[in-house]
Chains A and B, each alone.
Chain A
Amino acid sequence: MTKKAKVFRPTAFAFPYLAVTLVFVIVPLILVLVYAFRGADGGFTLQNFRQVFTEPESLRQLGKTVGIAALSTAICLVIAYTVAFVLASQPFNKMAILALLFVIPMWINFMLRIFALQSLLSVIGIGKGFAAVIIGMVYDFFPYMLLPIYTVLVNMDKSYVEASRDLGANPVQTFFKVTLPLSLPGVISGVSMMFMPIFSSYAITKTMGNMNTTVIGAAIASLFENVNYGDYGYGSALSFVLLLIVLLVMFLGNLLSRRVTKAPKGGKA
């Protein structure tokens, strides 16, 4: 009895990781905050944020980023949903290797895939520019969009669809009233795996785009290219704004998925 009272709790095992997280994750975030509010003289200032919100260039970059992210995410969603829907239907849902072929590129270095795509595009006559960037984004993120949607669709309880058909709904009605709402958790997770990461994907805009295509990540990266003369204050303010956007998108995503998972009673999420 006395032996049992001494509960085994090796929580100390997490301490190295906690120390690493503190130094490498928490401290950098605080540094971003400090640099964002610090002027050249070392005092407190809002100048960096004024620069972000009043300079037409930074606003334009932010607008372009949201535009590129929204358009390529929408296109990718439509293609990925169609493929996932087909893959989850009879007889394709019995062919495990077929679905695998669509997500394998995920494991190949993305820069090499972009290099391959860029080579193909230039052969078929699509030069660097807006169209190439959108194609690049869709190509790069496709497996990440497909996987969550496919997983939800293939595990969906088929009796909901059958019930809908038995009760007289046609296939189109069944899709919009039953299948689509039930698959929304997969859609939300696919969209969130693509929309925000695009903000950092300057590797694609800088290699496949031209002067007019950019994402906000490129602006931040270029501010840090020179270790000695970098404009850390402005870069930190931009990052801080980006951080707020991340939080906002996450909040909206959580809100949406909570509503979605609540709606169909007894549905498997």
Chain B
Amino acid sequence: MMNKTSSRMYLIARWAILLLVLAAIYLPLVMIIVYSFSASQSVGGEYGEFTFRLYARLVENSDILVALRNTLVIGLSSAALATILGTTASIGIHYMRKKIKSAVDTASQITVVNAEIVTAMGFFLLIIFLRDTVMIPVNFGIVWLILTHTVITTPYVILTVTPRLQQLNPNLLEASMDLGAGPMRSLFTVMLPQLAGAMVSGFALAFTLSLDDFVVTNINGADVETISTFVYAGMRKKGIPVEMRALSTIIFIVVLTALIVYNVVKNKKAKEQAKKA
């Protein structure tokens, strides 16, 4: 009897911990969502009436829209470049001799383990060097941001694609070549389709990392604003336009539903497959 109540208390205590932390995680987000339907000047101010006014004004706020567009342009282009560069690199590294392979692996980990501020500063010095010493006319801005984001996200694509590459059956490629297809054709028609899933994961990872980046963008962007640098500047000086609450709400809801749906579907599939087997 005693044991039963104490184990029950233990269960309640554990639920309490989880709910408390969940509340702490989601309360700030919920508050922004709630206040996105109020015309109040500040979050936490007098609520007033329930309104969609901020959403209507969001469409007219060109500062926010430009920051959003820059974020997406940089994210999508750098993720696409990183996926191509990372996949080809994984294939090449996969066939390297052991010693060279480990040297390349180490080099590809530099930006991953390094302090981001040092990486960002390195890119900054690189522009100065290329412009003033090598005389290549490069400049800070959106193209430079796409390049630098590609450099910092490619290692993550390699980390995603390489394990899949190691799982592939090498006999398939050999069979294709024995049957008369050239190495290039075998690579594109036999190997690449099998890597497609990992490439999509790598693209998604690179894209999110690019969206989330602040330090490299802040130091190398000149006057190009992304969502991260826009919110940062607003919090420091100008104040954040009220319409930002509407955009934040849209982003929160999209990310939450996308991830939950993706995982529910994935779990269901895994369960079905487990049943079949």
Contact = CB atoms under 8 A, between A and B. Distances in A.
B25 A105 contact: yes
B46 interface: no
A220 B121 CA distance: 8
Contacts of B228: 109-111, 203
Secondary structure of the A contact surface, majority rule: helix
A86 B12 CA distance: 11
A239 interface: yes
Interface in B167-215: 173-174, 177-178, 183, 187, 208, 211-212, 214-215
A25 B88 contact: no
A29 B110 contact: yes
B73 interface: no
A13 B18 contact: no
B91 A10 contact: yes
Contacts of B91: 10, 13-14
B56 interface: no
Most B Cβ at <10 Å: residue of A27, A87, A112: A112
Interface in B131-178: 140, 147-148, 150-151, 154, 158, 173-174, 177-178
A167 B119 CA distance: 52
A112 B115 contact: no
Given A107-B259, A243-B118, A92 B214 contact: no
A114 B227 CA distance: 12
A239 B17 contact: no
B123 A107 contact: no
Contacts of A79: 21
Interface in A105-145: 105, 107-120, 122-123, 139, 142
Contact of A100 (B17, B151, B222, B260): B260
B129 A27 contact: yes
B267 interface: yes
A150 interface: no
B244 A86 contact: no
Nearest to A95: B18
B115 A24 contact: no
Contact of A220 (B24, B85, B117): B117
A164 B172 CA distance: 48
Given A8-B173, A24-B148, A123-B31, A197 B107 contact: no
A37 interface: no
Contacts of B18: 83, 86-87, 92, 98
A9 interface: yes
A13 B218 CA distance: 33
Contact of A109 (B125, B177, B251): B251
Contacts of A118: 235
A11 B92 contact: yes
Interface stretch (A15-23, A55-63, A152-160, A176-184): A15-23
A102 B227 contact: no
A77 to B, nearest CB: 14
A21 B154 CA distance: 10
B48 interface: no
B88 A21 contact: no
A211 interface: no
A64 interface: no
A97 B263 contact: yes
Given A20-B151, A206-B236, A8 B31 contact: no
A96 interface: yes
24 contacts: A3-B178, A13-B95, A14-B91, A15-B92, A16-B89, A17-B89, A17-B92, A17-B154, A24-B123, A24-B147, A25-B110, A29-B122, A31-B126, A98-B18, A101-B22, A110-B212, A110-B214, A111-B231, A221-B120, A224-B124, A239-B117, A245-B115, A246-B113, A246-B114
Interface of A: 3, 8-18, 20-21, 23-29, 31-32, 35, 79, 82-83, 86-87, 89, 92, 96-98, 100-102, 104-105, 107-120, 122-123, 139, 142, 196-197, 199-200, 202-203, 206-207, 216-217, 220-221, 224, 227, 232, 235-236, 239, 242-243, 245-246, 250
